[in-house]
Chain A
Amino acid sequence: MDGSPLVEARGLTKRFGDFTAVDAVDFEVRRGEAFGFLGPNGAGKSSTMRMIGAVSPIAGGDLSVFGMDPEGEGAKIRARIGVVPQQDNLDEEIPVDENLLIYGRYFGLSRAVLWPRIEELLAFAELTERRHDKVESLSGGMKRRLTIARALINEPELLLLDEPTTGLDPQARHLLWDRLYRLKQQGVTLIITTHFMDEAEQLCDRLVVMDKGKIAAEGSPRSLIEEYSTKEVLEVRFPDEAKADIAERLDGLAKRVEVLPDRVLLYTDDGDATSHEVWTRGLEPESVLARRSSLEDVFLRLTGRSLID
């Protein structure tokens, strides 16, 4: 069982009319890992997730999940995965615990199996005290936790999470991350889409950066930063009158210089040393900030800074 990937895609393609949402991507997800799809809106992340979840037919290439074909064996695949969709689709008018019961019944599980499992999941999601309340009375974070609990009702081997923490406050996000980390410890394979860099760094062992339907880069968060960025980034702000030829005057100071409307980014392995050189050249910045490179720098380098709507 081990060694063979849980999900394997070769040339996987999805089209909607003339629009190619996913353009011949290759990737593998191994058992027990947390795998991320990182990318801006419209990059093809959700389409890829839906194909893996066997609810969206593929337009080209090959896809296997648990070694099975989603086209012919969709029901068998869906029996072994849990899905946390981008938008909660809980039944708002029935109580928390009945949401779990009803969903479990769709998997053919008996009440005798379900009730003890529901107890565990309510505790896991910190919703035991709210179990008899209607879902519509829950906060956004609670609904999200309930959606995750519901996705675990069939004890899935693979959990698909489509932007699990979008719209949540920091406390709720951290609680969710903790729960997802625990699941990973228990051996559940996680596939996560996100456009939050910190989330990807926190949760993912390995990730791919998607852009316009293609995979722009692949690796661990650390290796992606090493490959596509520098150890540190120096963020420098200049007064307006000094901005005119700033790129030329900074030339050679860093491995890469990026001039933004409000500030200049110097990609360097030693922020303090570069900062010193900026002053040595006689430039007089308004402010200087040296920080470590993050996945965000990789992301912006690979997918560009322009808005995608």
Chain B
Amino acid sequence: MAATETLRVVENHARTYRRIWRGSIISTFLNPILYLAAMGVGLGVLVDDGAGRQALDGLDYLTFLAPGLLAASAMQTGAGDAAWPVMAGIKWRRSYEAVLATPVAVRDLVAGHLLWVTLRLLMMTTIFSFVMVMFGATGVAEAVRAIIPAIVTGLAFGASVTAYSATVADHTGLTNLFRFGIVPMFLFSGTFFPISQLPGWMQPIAYVTPLWHGVELTRAWALGIDPTFPTSLHFAYLGLWIVAGSLLAVRQLRRRMIV
């Protein structure tokens, strides 16, 4: 992999992003504000006054929800940036065809793309953590620490969804991924309630989803508690998704573009 070619891909991502950054930053702020206000504060009052506090090991709902939502939002960003923009590069705008006619190779293109997704995740999780502190969900140090597992979570999706997008024919495949994969994960991987609340047969499914591991880690690091499994195991599982996803992304994109 050529490092300079990779950096040029990142640079040009940033150059294009410069034209839309205002709108992008505003929605990155709004998203956690709306969720934490509606669910953390609004719904949280009901949870805290009811039987909820016991099920959450004595945590108030806002504190429980905020880090989980941070990980889940990182998933949304990672998957989203790896879905439509990749299909646009391949098919709708054909920008990958233009890039690959230069000295940039497929592996440089994928590496640059994933590095850019990482930078986007850094922006997004930083803003989210700031909002989290504003709401009083966590302290500053905890919020900063939670950024790391959240970015790893986002990248696990960034890499694997890039491979997926390079494989499916068009937007139907992407819509189905979100409909049957990302949205159910968002709802049932421990973001809004502990997976112990799920029916017994569904719990093993939650263990397989990368988001559950991401939520466990991010919540643990934000609240200073122990995750379900050892920290290294959670990280290793997400790492597997990143490595396998990246390798598959290069292979699938090469098959798609270099014909």
Complex-state Cα separation, A94 to B95, whole angstroms? 13
Is B51's beta carbon under 8 Å from chain A?
A: no
Spot the interface stretch: B7-15, B124-132, B208-216: B7-15
In the complex, whether B233 has a CB less than 8 A from a CB of chain A is: no
User: Taking the complex as formed, is A78 at the interface, i.e. its CB lies under 8 A from any CB of chain B?
Assistant: yes
B259 touches A89 (CB 8 A): no
- B8 contacts which of A92, A98, A106 (Cβ < 8 Å)? A106
Q: Write the nearest CB–CB distance from B21 to chain A, whole angstroms.
A: 14
- Are B12 and A74 within 8 A (Cβ)? no
Indicate if the CB atoms of B15 and A55 lie closer than 8 Å: no
Q: Which residues of A contact B225 (CB under 8 A)?
A: none
Q: Are B101 and A55 in contact (CB under 8 A)?
A: yes
A69-83, CB under 8 A of B: which get 1 and which 0? 000001110110001
Scoring B95, B102, B258 by chain A CB atoms within 10 A of each residue's CB, the highest score goes to B102
Interface residue B93 (Cβ < 8 Å from any Cβ of A)? yes
List A contacts of B4 (CB < 8 A). 108
Chain B window 84-104, contacts with chain A (Cβ cutoff 8 Å), 1 for yes, 0 for no: 000000000111011111111
A107 to B9, CA, bound (A): 11
**B105 an interface residue at 8 Å Cβ cutoff?**
yes
B22 proximal to A (CB < 8 A)? no
Contact partner of B97 (CB less than 8 A), chosen from A89, A91, A92, A94, is A89
Residues of B within 8 A of A105 (CB): 8, 11-12
Q: Quick one: which of B11, B16, B93 contacts A89, CB cutoff 8 A?
A: B93
Q: Do the beta carbons of B95 and A91 come within 8 Å of each other?
A: yes
- Given the complex of chains A and B, what is the CA–CA distance between A75 and B109 in angstroms? 13
Determine if B99 and A106 form an interchain contact, defined as CB atoms under 8 angstroms apart: yes
Measured between alpha carbons, how far is A91 from B92 in the docked complex, in Å? Answer: 11
Nearest Cβ on chain B to A19's Cβ, whole angstroms: 12
- Contact yes or no, A107 B103, CB < 8 A: yes
Given contacts A102-B15, A106-B8, A106-B12, contact A75 B105 (CB under 8 A): yes
A56→B254 CA distance, assembly (Å): 10
Q: A106–B102 contact, CB under 8 A? A: yes
Q: Is the CB of B8 within 8 A of A93?
A: no
- A residues 11-55 near B (Cβ < 8 Å) are 16, 53, 55
What are the residues of chain A within 8 A of B98 when measuring CB–CB?
Answer: 85, 89-90, 103, 150
Cross-chain contact B102 with A56 (CB below 8 angstroms): no
On whether the beta carbons of B8 and A108 are closer than 8 Å, the reply is: yes
Cα distance, A85 to B98, chains bound together (Å): 8
Contact with B along A137-153 (1 / 0, CB 8 A): 00000000000001000
A251 to B212, CA, bound (A): 85
Partner of B94, one of A75, A89, A150: A89
Give complex CA distance A56, B258 in Å.
Answer: 5
In angstroms, Cα B9 to Cα A229, docked, is 52
Residues of B contacting A223 in the complex (Cβ-Cβ under 8 angstroms): none
A-B contacts besides A79-B103, A106-B12, A107-B103, 7 pairs, CB < 8 Å: A85-B97, A89-B95, A106-B8, A106-B102, A108-B4, A108-B103, A154-B102
Q: Please report B residues at the A interface, Cβ cutoff 8 Å.
A: 2, 4-5, 8-9, 11-12, 15-16, 19, 93-95, 97-105, 257-259
For this complex, 21 residue pairs linking A to B, each with C-beta atoms less than 8 Å apart, are A55-B257, A56-B259, A76-B103, A78-B101, A85-B101, A89-B95, A91-B16, A91-B93, A98-B15, A101-B15, A102-B12, A102-B15, A102-B16, A103-B102, A105-B8, A105-B12, A107-B102, A107-B103, A108-B8, A108-B103, A150-B98
